[in-house]
Amino acid sequence: MKKQVKEDRFQGHDYYNIDALLHDDHKIARDAVRSWVKQEVSPIIEAYSDKAECPVHLFKGLAEIGAFGPSLPEKYGGGGMDEIAYGIIMQELERGDSGIRSMASVQGSLVMYPIYKFGSEEQRMKYLPKLGSGEFIGCFGLTEPDHGSNPSGMVTNIKDDGDAYILNGAKMWITNSPVADIAVVWAKDESGVVRGLIVEKDMKGFSAPAIHGKWSLRASITGELIFEDVRVPKSNVLPGVSGMKGPLSCLSKARYGIAWGAIGAAMDCYDSALRYSQERSQFGRPIGQFQLTQKKLAEMITEITKAQLLVWRLGVLANEGNATPAQISMAKRNNVAMALDVAREARQIHGGMGITNEYPVMRHMMNLETVLTYEGTHDIHLLITGMDVTGLNAFS
Amino acid sequence: MKILVCVSKTPDTTARIAFKDSNTVFDSNGVQFIMNPYDEWYALVRAVELVEAGGGSVTLINVGREDNDTILRKGLAIGADDAVRIDAEADSAFFVASQIAAYAKEQSFDLVLLGKETIDYNGSEVGSMLAQLLDMPFVSHASDMQVSGSEATISREIEGGTEVLSAALPLVVSAAKGLAEQRIPNMKGIMGAKRKPLAVIPPVAVAGRTQTVAFSVPEAKGAVRMIDPDNMEELVRLLHEESKVI
């Protein structure tokens, strides 16, 4: 596909010198992923988004730089890094495109993580190195057509059949599903308990059609998972977990990455708007000299800086094993909404050019509409915070 | 083969350049620093390639303070085996070359590689000074280098073509574009780099020979002026009287 001639001139923004709080390996990881994005993502992303096509070849590159499960132990194909490094990698990938970050966070947090956390040693050794190296692509099946914000109402189910379970049901909005080799699927057993299963693409009765017509995450492939009497060996059931805490712990991991990732998209929009405001002249002076433009830019960098501090602290808590799901919800909700606001303001600063793919802003803006909704909607996360501070459950 | 690769820290290519203290000191406030790309992309990567193919070791060296350790760790993540930092301000090319030479004399390296210049001062001085101080041959601007036994064959891009030279090891070579391709370190390399040795040694006493008096930034480019195509006389007048190019 045609490469874009325009140079990616992005530079990072660190108004409060948060770099001083990072370790060398965090900064080196950030620079490495930023270089990779400039080399591999920026030149092609507009063309792939335009055609609504997934750059599947990037799975290999993401694996080579170590973007899949960077905080999992090296023995299982991970990078042995800490949670801040994982967050920074997600930030830099989403600086390129939310869809590329989604490819990596699904593979790492929603597929490799549950197999590592809840899988048997045999399952770990069978799947994790191949997922880490990009040989296998994975996807995660929780959301159903009629059960999005209420996943525990799922109807996908398994029935005992000797040495296997018979899986029936359907999952919706599944990132990577049409190109996936395996799916980590959550389904209810005969007593209504949620279990995790590893479903392989060649299993009879399993299909994963693509969903078309998205105006968001156009460079990421999304599909369904359809199970019609799929016979899944019992050895493919994740032995280490039962109940909703299985999928929810995966979501905490992925939401944590999104809280960081959204800052990447916001920084890219801010960076582009700041540069444009200095290069674009109207009424005989750069538009950055007008108070209303400065207000937009000043508020953008203020909100980005607050979000950076939020995830840094969340990262420290995560490294200590003390980040609560509610704290992660707050960061995901705040940072994604922040990024969407920044994208919209940046779009205005770019004027008419802001609606074209000459600049990354409108693509980020459209992507962030998905990010605002997936992995727990903006409103659901608010109610999680509400429940956490009041002790009262608004869901039931 | 024992290879020494000299690396510098430079402001990122997108950094805003400003000076302080009456324009005598570079203002590093808010500036992001990187490893000098000529050192990283070409000198270091070629050194790592040579060792991967024929065995040996790659040692990184830098003259600077503790905050330079990040670039040394990055170099270790790319594939160097160990690193040395001479703990002093790198305040002139002669000072830097003298410090590196004092270390290298004790170590008997077969090859000393560095970028053809840093992207901040563009001095291109350290390589030739090092060769002189170490009494080694020096080849600058290498765009290709093959080593066979104790002899290196090196190509340089020159006006209108390529020059091919041969030189005996030990040798100092400065690297230009084309010598290798940028390698992005992966997460395993970055974690592995934390376990590789990084020695910090004190500087030797060297008297500076130059002193920076002042810096100045180039004047900002003026706005483009459009001249009516029917008014060529005005264009000629501006080129003659204002731009003074004709």
Are B74 and A64 inside 8 Å of each other by CB? no
CA distances from A258 to A144, A301, A330, B212 (A): 21, 19, 11, 47
The answer to whether B15 contacts chain A (CB < 8 Å) is: yes
The answer to whether B144 contacts chain A (CB < 8 Å) is: no
**pLDDT of res. B31:** 84
Element of type H or E holding B19? strand B19-20
Q: B14 to chain A: which residues are within 8 Å by CB?
A: 9-11
**pLDDT of res. A65:** 96
**pLDDT of res. B28:** 86
Domain with CATH 1.10.540.10 in chain A: 18-132
Are B12 and A36 inside 8 Å of each other by CB? no
Copy the structure tokens of residue B40: 């990283």
Domain A245-390, second-level architecture? Up-down Bundle (1.20)
Q: B187 to chain A: which residues are within 8 Å by CB?
A: 29, 32, 65-67, 70, 79-81, 85, 89
Q: What is the CATH number of domain B2-218?
A: 3.40.50.620
Distance CA A128, CA A285 (A): 56
**pLDDT of res. A165:** 98
**Residue A217 phi, psi dihedral angles, 5° rounding:** 45, 50
Question: Cis peptide leading into A129, omega within 30 of 0?
Answer: no
The C-alpha of B168 sits at a distance from chain A's nearest C-alpha, in angstroms, of 36
Q: If DSSP states are collapsed to H, E and C, what string results for chain A?
A: CCCCCCCCCCCCCCCCCHHHHCCHHHHHHHHHHHHHHHHHHHHHHHHHHHHCCCCCCHHHHHHHHCCCCCCCCHHHCCCCCCHHHHHHHHHHHHHHCHHHHHHHHHHHHHHHHHHHHHCCHHHHHHHHHHHHCCCCCEEEECCECCECCCHHHCCCEEEEECCEEEEEEEEEEEECHHHCCEEEEEEECCCCCEEEEEEECCCCCEECCECCCCCCCCCCCEEEEEEEEEEEEHHHECCCCCCCHHHHHHHHHHHHHHHHHHHHHHHHHHHHHHHHHHHCEECCEEHHHCHHHHHHHHHHHHHHHHHHHHHHHHHHHHHCCCCCHHHHHHHHHHHHHHHHHHHHHHHHHCHHHHHCCCCCHHHHHHHHHHHHHCCCCHHHHHHHHHHHHHCCCCCC
Angle at B31 between CA B25 and CA B33, to 5 degrees: 100
Q: By C-alpha distance, which of A65, A58, A23 is closest to A42?
A: A58
Are A28 and B70 inside 8 Å of each other by CB? yes
pLDDT digits (tens, 9 = 90+) for A331-365: 999 999 999 999 999 999 999 999 999 999 999 99
Are B186 and A14 inside 8 Å of each other by CB? no
Q: A12 to chain B: which residues are within 8 Å by CB?
A: 32
**pLDDT of res. A3:** 65
Residues 186-215 of B with CB under 8 A from A: 186-188, 190-191, 193-194
Nearest to A35 among B15, B184, B191 (CB): B184
The answer to whether A86 contacts chain B (CB < 8 Å) is: no
Residues 78-117 of B with CB under 8 A from A: none
**pLDDT of res. A78:** 85
Are B194 and A25 inside 8 Å of each other by CB? yes
Catalytic residue, chosen from A46, A92, A345, A375, is A375
Question: Nearest chain B Cα to A20, which residue?
Answer: B67
**pLDDT of res. A79:** 87
Are A29 and B190 inside 8 Å of each other by CB? yes
pLDDT at A134 over 70: yes
Q: A28 to chain B: which residues are within 8 Å by CB?
A: 70, 73-74, 77, 185, 190, 193
ipTM of the complex model: 0.88
The C-alpha of B14 sits at a distance from chain A's nearest C-alpha, in angstroms, of 7
All structural domains of chain B with their residue ranges: 2-218
Copy the structure tokens of residue A278: 């200095």
CA distances from B236 to B222, B225, B239, B242 (A): 18, 13, 5, 10
Sequence letter at residue A282: Q
pLDDT tier, A75 (very low <50, low <70, confident <90, very high otherwise): confident
Copy the structure tokens of residue B58: 């790659």
Q: By C-alpha distance, which of B115, B106, B67 is closest to B90?
A: B67
Are A74 and B188 inside 8 Å of each other by CB? yes
Helices and strands (DSSP H and E) totals, chain B: 7, 13
The answer to whether B74 contacts chain A (CB < 8 Å) is: yes
pLDDT tier, A4 (very low <50, low <70, confident <90, very high otherwise): low
**Residue A294 phi, psi dihedral angles, 5° rounding:** -60, -40
Question: Nearest chain A Cα to B12, which residue?
Answer: A11
**pLDDT of res. B174:** 98
**pLDDT of res. B227:** 87
Are B77 and A67 inside 8 Å of each other by CB? no
Are B15 and A11 inside 8 Å of each other by CB? yes
Percent of chain A with pLDDT over 90: 95
Q: By C-alpha distance, which of A28, A146, A151 is closest to A92?
A: A28
Q: A138-236: which CATH number, 3.40.50.300, 2.60.120.260, 3.40.1550.10, 2.40.110.10?
A: 2.40.110.10
* A46 tagged catalytic: no
**pLDDT of res. B32:** 84
Specify the 3-state DSSP secondary structure of B196.
Answer: coil
Q: Over chain A, what is the mean pLDDT? A: 96
Residues 5-34 of A with CB under 8 A from B: 9-12, 14, 19, 24-25, 27-29, 31-32
pLDDT digits (tens, 9 = 90+) for A183-208: 999 999 999 999 999 999 999 999 99
pLDDT at A2 over 70: no
pLDDT digits (tens, 9 = 90+) for A271-310: 999 999 999 999 999 999 999 999 999 999 999 999 999 9
Query: What's the N-to-C CA distance of chain A in angstroms?
Result: 50
Question: Nearest chain B Cα to A66, which residue?
Answer: B187
Domain with CATH 2.40.110.10 in chain A: 138-236
Q: pTM, whole model, 2 decimals?
A: 0.91
The answer to whether A279 contacts chain B (CB < 8 Å) is: no
- Per-residue confidence of chain B (246 residues) as pLDDT tens digits? 999 999 999 998 878 888 999 888 889 887 889 999 999 999 999 999 999 999 999 999 999 999 999 999 999 999 999 999 999 999 899 999 999 999 999 999 999 999 999 999 899 999 999 999 999 999 999 999 999 999 999 999 999 999 999 999 999 999 999 999 999 999 999 999 999 999 999 999 998 888 889 998 888 777 778 888 888 998 999 899 888 888
Q: At what angle do helices A361-373 and A42-51 cross, to 10 degrees?
A: 70
**pLDDT of res. A314:** 98
Q: Choose the mutation target among B44, B187, B188, B198 for the interface with A, i.e. most A CBs under 10 Å.
A: B187
Nearest to B12 among A11, A19, A25 (CB): A11
The C-alpha of A218 sits at a distance from chain B's nearest C-alpha, in angstroms, of 27
Are A67 and B187 inside 8 Å of each other by CB? yes
Query: What's the N-to-C CA distance of chain B in angstroms?
Result: 57
Looking at residues A142-153, what average pLDDT do you find?
Answer: 93
- Tell me if the domain spanning A18-132 has CATH number 3.40.640.10: no
